[in-house]
Amino acid sequence: MRIIYFGTPEFAIVPLQRLLAAPDVEVVGVVTQPDKRRGRGSQLIPSPVKDVALAHGLPVWQPQRIKQDRDLHALLRSLAVDVFVVVAYGQILSPDVLAIPSQGCINIHGSLLPKYRGAAPIQWALYNGETETGVTTMLMDAGMDTGPILLRSAVAIALDDTAQTLALKLSHLGAELLLKTLRQLPQLTPQPQDEQQATYARLLQKDDFALDWGRSALELHNQVRAFTPRAFTYWQGMPLKVIQTWPLTPAVQAALPSELQAYVSPPSAAAANGTVITLIKGWGPVVQTAAGGLLLRQVQLSGGKPQSGWDFVNGVRLVTGASLG
């Protein structure tokens, strides 16, 4: 099967590597986003997928706007491929492009469609406290993740999963599902999505990262792990990134490290939300929320490096009764 691969971020690396290792698949070339300037020197940095493609000697195309690149459209037609595989490419493909491969365009999406269509399915699944997610392969159409479903595969979400760890799980799961989909493609019957079950995972915005201590410990934990390392509060008027947490609440007590289970207590309103109520030696401060205490396991002061919650306690001489936010 002749394939052109569309992808950009790290999430798209593992599926590409599996295709390159498959004896019954030929990756003809790769389409990825243009290089971006990053860092202090504003150097042009290639996408992770481009690095893999070049390491395997593949042709790489990087259109600024693929919808308008008629020369690339003509080139892709001339290659006479069977399938376009699209994994977190980052641009919407026009009907003209979708019609090029003889057997269609197959997308790997990081959710169990029709739930969490859109740009950030992994983050919003974590934010909403889902206990299960997965990957879906679908035939692409002109809509946003609205094409008919080919195959789906589910995975459990652990309490300590973050957007990064869950993305890695789904990337490997997606690679397996992609090969299965390609090999069974002639026998598969695409299933239309149930529009009544559809939800949308919008792009992230800066306002999503601010912690509100008036929410529950579990809700704040889900926010931190969904948006790490960008979730933040304030310490003495300066931003404090909150990178890793544990919610010390009865509902998730069994999933906590054994050393922390003794610190779980029923909800209390004895302290104001955002107040440090306990210091757990070797772990960090526990902050009062609307429901339960939230242990700050790893944080980062403005201008500093990530540090453990306990190092933060010692570094700023944090005491119970101090306020965050």
Residues of each annotated binding site for (6S)-5,6,7,8-tetrahydrofolate: 111-114
Q: How many CB atoms lie within 10 A of CB 258?
A: 7
CA distance 258 to 244: 17
| Residues 142, 235: Cα–Cα separation, whole Å | 47
Q: How far is CA 54 from CA 43, 65, 81, 288, in A?
A: 18, 21, 20, 50
Q: Which residue has the tokens 């000697």?
A: 57
Q: Is 10 helix (H, G, I), strand (E, B) or coil?
A: helix
Residue indicated by tokens 């790290």: 10
**Within 10 A of 85 (CB to CB), how many other CB atoms are there?**
28
CB atoms near residue 206 (< 10 Å)? 8
Annotated binding site: 111-114
Q: How big is the chain, counted in residues?
A: 325
Q: Rounded to the nearest 10 degrees, how much is the dihedral formed by the CA atoms of 152, 153, 156, 161?
A: -90
Token duo for residue 101: 């491969």
CA dist 295 and 249 (Å) reads 10
Enter the DSSP assignment of 325: -
Apex CA 216: angle with CA 212 and CA 219, to 5°? 80
Contact 287, 303 (CB under 8 A): no
